[in-house]
Amino acid sequence: MQKKNIDWANLSFGYQPTDFRFEARWKDGKWDEGKLTDNPNIELSEAACVFHYAQCCFEGLKAYETEKGEIVTFRPEENGKRMFNTAKRLEMPSFPVEKFVKAVEDVVRANAAWVPPHGTGATLYIRPVMIGSGPQIGVAPAHEFIFRIFVMPVGSYFKGAVKPIKLKVAEYDRAAPHGTGNIKAGLNYAMSLYPTMEAHREGYAENVYLDPATRTFVEETGGTNIMFVDKEGTIVIPSSTSILPSITRRSLVEVARDILGYKVEERPVRFDEIKDMQEMAVIGTAAVLAPVGMVHSKDGDIYLPTGMDKIGPVSAKLRETLTGIQMGDIEDVKGWVHKIDLNK
């Protein structure tokens, strides 16, 4: 297999059409078999439910090339489970997990030439998406749906991802109490676009959102979960019913507890606790783990003791271990790595 002629080391985190994508359609109460297609475009009715009532959900995962030249993905069944539950909450037809994993395999295999070589720091980002495609003018779920998976080679989500970033506390809420903050719905991200661009215009990488009920507790950013390390070296993960259950977060917790031997607490974290933390990071599929050096709020700036020059020692160890497992450089004792058979 001949790799594409790409400057792998200087890729941005952006869309680039590749050779194939998978598409399945739901109609008359069932999914069709689905197939690979080379058409990057979707034709929709002007009355498609997704345009009017935001009936849309998506996932994000990655494929990697190991030092041995194998192509692997990381816990794709967990993304399938999360999308299954998200679809149920949005009155969309859940796509079976086993078919989800097979579709991921088929798309990655078909685009193997686009998987960045081992050691370049780049990955193949995999984007499953489901939309209400059927025409729907009354406020109700669509009667037809499209499920699609497409892929693209990407670089780091945050430029210089191991160098600390600056965040600001958003004056807006990302999700409503008892709303959809705990599922990967497109509408949650639409809510964060204006605050995100406002943060960028002010020189910050992202926003920190507080709990929508009391604005007292730390929740997450517009696109990632959050992690802290306290003065005792305990890893502290904010918990809430409106935080998205990140697969990267769950994996980092298991790496910390079971592989590296750290103490981990998953609990509500008050915003006023940040000033006493030793390390802070944003975590997610796209970012993996990016350290935070400063958080701006209306009451002033909070600088983490690790500073703005380098990643903290605990965060560095966590990131190094998780990416090592994903890339095949560290033994996968958890059985998380999913090998793609290129001979099928």
- 147-197 residue pLDDT tens: 999 999 999 887 655 789 999 999 999 989 999 999 999 999 999 999 999
pLDDT tens-place string over residues 219-254: 999 999 999 999 999 999 999 999 999 999 999 999
| Mean pLDDT, rounded, for 128-140 | 98
pLDDT (0 to 100) of residue 344: 83
What token pair was written down for 210?
A: 């507080």
Q: Whole-angstrom Cα distance, residue 256 to residue 75?
A: 17
Q: Whole-angstrom Cα distance, residue 276 to residue 227?
A: 14
Active site residue 184: yes
pLDDT (0 to 100) of residue 160: 56
What token pair was written down for 38?
A: 């080379």
pTM: 0.96
Looking at the chain, the whole-number percentage of residues with pLDDT higher than 70 is 99
| Mean pLDDT, rounded, for 213-217 | 95
DSSP helix/strand/coil, 161? coil
DSSP helix/strand/coil, 329? coil
pLDDT (0 to 100) of residue 159: 65
Q: Are 193 and 186 in contact (CB under 8 A)?
A: no
What's the whole-number average pLDDT of the chain? 96
Amino acid letter, 67: E
| Mean pLDDT, rounded, for 308-329 | 95
b (16+ CB within 10 A) / e for 16-51: eebebbbbbbbeeeebeebebeeeeeeebeeebbbb
Give the pLDDT band (50/70/90) at residue 40: very high
DSSP helix/strand/coil, 33? coil
| Mean pLDDT, rounded, for 37-53 | 98
What token pair was written down for 260?
A: 């590296």
CA distances from 111 to 38, 61, 254 (A): 11, 15, 31
pLDDT (0 to 100) of residue 161: 55
Which residue in the list 184, 263, 298, 334 is annotated as catalytic? 184
pLDDT tens-place string over residues 62-120: 999 999 999 999 999 999 999 999 999 999 999 999 999 999 999 999 999 999 999 99
| Mean pLDDT, rounded, for 329-337 | 96
Looking at the chain, the whole-number percentage of residues with pLDDT higher than 90 is 95
pLDDT (0 to 100) of residue 158: 79
pLDDT (0 to 100) of residue 313: 97
